[in-house]
Amino acid sequence: MKKKLLIFSLAYFPSHVSGAEAAIKEITERTSDEYEFHLITHLFDKSAPRVEQFEKVTVYRVGFGGAYLSKILFVPLAALKARSLHQKLEFTGMWAMMTYMLFPLVIARLLGVRIPYLFTLQDGDPYDKVFNRWFIKPFAPLLDYGIKHARIIQVISEYLGTWPALRGYMGETVMVRNGANPKNFDQYYSDQELEEVKVTLGKKAGDIYLFIAARLVYQKGIDNIIKALPDLPEHVHFLCAGGGPDDAMLKELAAELQVAHRVTFLGPVERVDVPKYRNTIVSDIFVHPSRSEGLGNSVLSAMAARLPVVVTQVGGFKDFVFDAVKDPEQNPTAWAVEPDNPQQIVEAVKDILAHPDQVKKVTDNARALMETEYHWDAVAAKMKKEVFAKL
């Protein structure tokens, strides 16, 4: 008989998908032979069904739509939903995906759902932003309670692995990293389809496309890519996939620096379609100059796709971003730059364009690393053996 796990995730498929939601999907798909998964999420779209079977997960949406008040009410509503479901389904354990999902889980526990639970640390924001913002600090004791009483904590990077002890946790912490997008391991689209994408984008022979797929927010440092363009040759362009609050600011910056004609904003792109742009036929270099990062799934996927990567070494990036100069003891996997340093991006891009033989060695190293610890098959097997089995 399958064990039943209840997951708390603020967002889930088919929309509002980022690394955390992708991790749930990839792991549940590969472990559903032994586990039955149920997930409580927020109702962002009033037209979405309240209950839906999405592949291997039964999804329950609570709330009143995407309004701010509805997001606040999600916490008690999700806790009440958890209690109601547990009375009918008798879950084996619970799973909080990211720090703030401890809020509904803890309340559900206080309401009588006294079963072991897993907490996954997958936050991309820095520690102070997660725990010390003025509107979070009054509720920090709830978070600390949730952290301290977890049966097991899973972290996706060495950086995030330092957080539980800071909140008083004395239990077991297990490192299970995220994987790269499966579609970037093999060419999912035909050469003809990818050539059509190039035509649609207006990419001409000799053009070089820098690419990023990310939320348009401050922490991603996308402004530094645009600031690098004036010092790069005219045939170097920037292709940006993603939406977010910095959209208008970034477009204004491109216009101010007179490089708007070399920047294409794709807007939000579904995760399943990102590999259409993140491949060596359409794009030439993946650039991700984050100011903070929990792990960085899109960089993993770019490495799986054999793209050369220019990236900072903040947060979880340190686990797999190895630079030939900065990390001489490691096989290089990328070109590492400092945060807020557009000139280093310029130098890295020029180095990549000037040394194709070195690019081949670095991208081969990165691909080999992705095929081992960062492949979803290995991730799911480790989750089943070292995490779920302890609930």
Reference 235, options 198, 205, 191, 265; nearest CA is: 205
Q: What are the CA-CA distances from residue 307 to residues 99, 124, 241 (Å)? A: 32, 23, 16
In the predicted model, what is the mean pLDDT of residues 177-196?
A: 83
In the predicted model, what is the mean pLDDT of residues 176-182?
A: 85
In the predicted model, what is the mean pLDDT of residues 182-192?
A: 80
Amino acid at 25: K
In the chain, domain spans: 3-179+375-390, 182-370
Distance of alpha carbon 249 from alpha carbon 243, whole angstroms: 12
Q: Give me the pLDDT at residue 254, please.
A: 98
Q: Report the 10 Å Cβ neighbour count for 85.
A: 19
Angle between helices 102-110 and 68-89 (to 10 degrees): 50
Distance of alpha carbon 309 from alpha carbon 316, whole angstroms: 15
Q: Give me the pLDDT at residue 124, please.
A: 83
Lowest mean pLDDT among 197-206, 261-270, 292-301: 292-301
Query: pLDDT tens digit string along 148-167?
Result: 999 999 999 899 999 999 99
Q: Give me the pLDDT at residue 10, please.
A: 94
Query: pLDDT tens digit string along 217-263?
Result: 999 999 999 999 999 999 999 999 999 999 999 999 999 999 999 99
In the predicted model, what is the mean pLDDT of residues 197-212?
A: 95
Domain 3-179+375-390 identical in fold to domain 182-370: yes
Confidence of residue 8 (pLDDT cuts 50, 70, 90): very high
* 3-state SS class at 214: coil
Share of the chain above pLDDT 70, in %: 100
* 3-state SS class at 94: strand
In the predicted model, what is the mean pLDDT of residues 19-27?
A: 92
Share of the chain above pLDDT 90, in %: 83
- 182-370 in CATH: which number? 3.40.50.2000
pLDDT at 186 over 80: no
In the predicted model, what is the mean pLDDT of residues 108-113?
A: 97
Rounded to 5, what percent of the chain is helix, strand, coil? Answer: 45, 15, 40
pLDDT at 293 over 90: no
Q: Is it true that domain 3-179+375-390 has CATH number 3.60.15.10?
A: no
In the predicted model, what is the mean pLDDT of residues 279-305?
A: 92
Q: Give me the pLDDT at residue 185, please.
A: 78
Query: pLDDT tens digit string along 35-49?
Result: 999 999 999 988 899
Confidence of residue 190 (pLDDT cuts 50, 70, 90): confident
Angle between helices 297-304 and 19-31 (to 10 degrees): 60
In the predicted model, what is the mean pLDDT of residues 256-283?
A: 93
Asked if 278 and 303 touch (Cβ cutoff 8 Å), the reply is no
Reference 307, options 327, 335, 329; nearest CA is: 335
pLDDT at 17 over 80: no
Distance of alpha carbon 301 from alpha carbon 374, whole angstroms: 9
pTM value is: 0.83
* Ordered DSSP codes for 227-262: HHGGGS-TTEEEEEE--STTHHHHHHHHHHTT-GGG
325 burial level (CB within 10 Å; 0-12, 13-18, 19+): exposed
Q: Give me the pLDDT at residue 311, please.
A: 98
Q: Give me the pLDDT at residue 125, please.
A: 87
Reference 299, options 283, 289, 314, 288; nearest CA is: 288
Bridge partners for 31 per DSSP: none
Query: pLDDT tens digit string along 334-389?
Result: 999 999 999 999 999 999 999 999 999 999 999 999 988 888 999 999 999 999 99
The beta strands (E) that lie in the chain are given as 3-8, 35-42, 51-54, 57-62, 93-97, 117-121, 152-155, 172-175, 208-213, 236-241, 263-267, 285-288, 309-311, 335-336
Distance of alpha carbon 175 from alpha carbon 242, whole angstroms: 29
